[in-house]
């Protein structure tokens, strides 16, 4: 029997809702989030470990957790 691959959900920023406050950047334990030109945050999906800390702290509810493609 082949080993089953478990794919964790990753953080994704809804750019139109993001207020670029940087709260998510401060709580990310692996530095996977950056604020792009003071306009919106962006998550590096390769670095994201799916801990959900950023989604929980976001005051604009602009971060969702989605299954990787």
Q: Are 50 and 9 in contact (CB under 8 A)?
A: yes
Query: What is the domain partition of the chain in residue ranges?
Result: 13-66
Give the tens place of pLDDT for each residue, 56-65.
999 999 999 9
Residue 5: what pLDDT? 63
What architecture is the 13-66 domain classified under in CATH? 2-Layer Sandwich (3.30)
Q: Of 25, 16, 30, 34, whose CA–CA distance to 54 is shortest?
A: 25
Please state, in angstroms and as integers, the Cα–Cα distance from residue 60 to each residue in 8, 27, 32, 54, 57, following that order.
23, 15, 19, 11, 9
Give the tens place of pLDDT for each residue, 42-56.
999 999 999 999 999
pLDDT at 7 over 90: no
């Amino acid at each position: 029997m082949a080993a089953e691959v478990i794919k964790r959900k990753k953080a994704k920023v809804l750019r139109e809702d993001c207020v670029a406050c940087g709260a998510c950047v401060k709580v990310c334990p692996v530095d996977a989030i950056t604020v792009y030109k003071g306009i919106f945050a962006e998550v590096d999906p390769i670095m994201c470990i799916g801990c959900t800390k950023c989604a929980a702290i976001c005051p604009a509810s602009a971060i969702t957790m989605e299954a990787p493609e």
